Amino acid sequence: MGVENILFIVALAVGIGLFARQVRRIARNVRLGRDEDRSDRKAERWGVMARVALGQGKMVVRPVAGIMHILIYVGFVLINLEVLEIIIDGIFGTHRVLSFLGGFYDLMIAVFEWLALGVVVACVVFLARRLVIRIPRFKGREMTSWPKRDAVYILLIELVLMGALLKMNAVDQLLQERGAEHFVKAGSFPVSSWLTPFFAGMDTGTLLVLERVYWWAHILGILAFLNYLPISKHFHIILAFPNTWYSKLEPRTQVRNMPRITEEVKLMMDPSADPYATPAEGDGAPPERFGARDVQDLSWKSLLDAYTCTECGRCTSECPANLTGKLLSPRKIMMDTRDRLEEVGRNIDANNGTFQDDGKALLGDYISEEELWACTTCNACTQACPVNIDPVAIIMDMRRNLVMEESRPRPALTTMLTNVENNGAPWQFAQSDRMKWTEE
């Protein structure tokens, strides 16, 4: 085993180790959320994941963006097979170790090259949509400098990676034709062959150096990109699969009941129950918070949603409240939740695994009451999201906290609740008078 192979193994171990560390941190943050069982109806969940995450079923609602995204997605997935070969070659010092597949290998490399070209075209189109055409849904008060730069960085990184791959193949092809030692003749290069004229006049020694430069640039770029994912919106390429598997399977507009409230209502309706009975031993735990004030009060699924958000803006572009000039932006709800969760995670890391109250909360410091009450709970945002994120669940939990913990409903809601309490109906007349209209 040569020095280059050892350096590659070290780089591979460091890159994967750092990525695993970041994944563990994110998993820890998601587990800070309230427990919620999403393990039922497994067959249906596998179908949703296959249709939405694997099949990109909701992306093509907007054809241009959908087709371009599918091109990048398929290219990203399949080209990783060539990355697997590069890793094997890097560890064992081989060259195109899968070339024993013969004609199938040639076909495979050719498909990868066409896909790489497709990724390049799609990235250029996406850059033009962001920087030249300036699609409206990429704007918004939540789209500050970092979210804008993040999206551009991702596209540029993918262009660099595909460029390094195609240049590596172009130089490799010339070295194969010249019979250079170690370079077995294998593969078909329909796209990178367009680049060979740029390198044809160079001597073999220079080509050998360039091949190694492009090879290292491609694999180190992939390892760097792997570690960029967890701090980027692009982490959705991994989280989209579990997030869609754990999707809400009930009707989108069905609101989750609060178990404690359900128990109280059942107790009120049970004539044989004693509302003053002494709680069972062990029930002296601190009472559960009604609704959500901070990220720890949200369900773990809502926190997973926050990390899965692609910041594409489809939710906000279809939100009727946002379209009429209200402050609400479903995308901002998800981005604020993720930002606060990251802040809580850093707090825990800085305090040896224990959260120390920092005087902040998701409700108030990140998301305002005005935003929450602007929501009509129409679920247009959940319908539009390409990875089944549910901003309404977060909004409803924080509304519950405002009403049941803070006693701060909006005025119109206060009137309705008072009427329900006094009259048994949301209207300002007694329940006994409700049917008098039938007597006329």
Write out pLDDT tens, residues 18-77. 999 999 999 999 999 999 999 899 999 999 999 999 888 898 888 888 888 888 888 877
Distances (CA, A) of 264 to 146, 261, 272, 336, 400: 46, 5, 14, 33, 16
How far apart, in whole angstroms, are the C-alpha atoms of residue 154 and residue 134?
Answer: 17
Q: Which amino acid is at 147?
A: P
Q: How many CB atoms lie within 10 A of CB 345?
A: 18
- Residue 349: predicted pLDDT: 93
Q: Is 130 helix (H, G, I), strand (E, B) or coil?
A: helix
Q: pLDDT for 317-353, tens place per residue?
A: 999 999 999 999 999 999 999 999 999 999 999 999 8
Distances (CA, A) of 333 to 289, 366, 409: 21, 9, 19
DSSP 224-237: HHHHHGGGSGGGHH
- Please give the radius of gyration of the chain, using alpha carbons only, rounded to the nearest integer: 28
> What's the average model confidence in pLDDT over 259-272?
78
Residue written as token pair 């699924």: 301
**pLDDT score of 281 more than 60:** no
Percent of the chain at pLDDT > 90 equals 55
Residue pair 382/390 in contact (Cβ under 8 Å)? The answer is yes
> What's the average model confidence in pLDDT over 240-244?
95
- Residue 285: predicted pLDDT: 58
- Residue 333: predicted pLDDT: 96
Lowest mean pLDDT among 4-18, 46-60, 138-152, 257-271: 257-271
Lowest mean pLDDT among 85-89, 309-313, 337-341, 387-391: 85-89
Average pLDDT of the chain is 88
423 — pLDDT class (breaks 50, 70, 90)? confident
**C-alpha angle 242-248-254 in degrees, rounded to nearest 5:** 165
More confident residue, 132 or 430: 132
253 — pLDDT class (breaks 50, 70, 90)? confident
> What's the average model confidence in pLDDT over 410-431?
78
Percent of the chain at pLDDT > 70 equals 96
DSSP 297: G
> What's the average model confidence in pLDDT over 345-370?
93
Q: Which residues of 192-217 are buried (b: 16+ CB within 10 A; e: fewer)?
A: beebeeebeeeeeeebbebbeebbbb
> What's the average model confidence in pLDDT over 417-423?
81
More confident residue, 163 or 275: 163
Q: Is 367 helix (H, G, I), strand (E, B) or coil?
A: strand
286 — pLDDT class (breaks 50, 70, 90)? low
- Residue 275: predicted pLDDT: 63
Q: Is 37 helix (H, G, I), strand (E, B) or coil?
A: coil
How far apart, in whole angstroms, are the C-alpha atoms of residue 276 and residue 273?
Answer: 9
Q: Is the dihedral of CA 125, 131, 136, 140 positive or negative?
A: positive
**pLDDT score of 284 more than 60:** no
Q: Which amino acid is at 80?
A: N
> What's the average model confidence in pLDDT over 220-233?
92
- Residue 255: predicted pLDDT: 83
Backbone angles phi, psi at 426, to 5 degrees: -75, -5
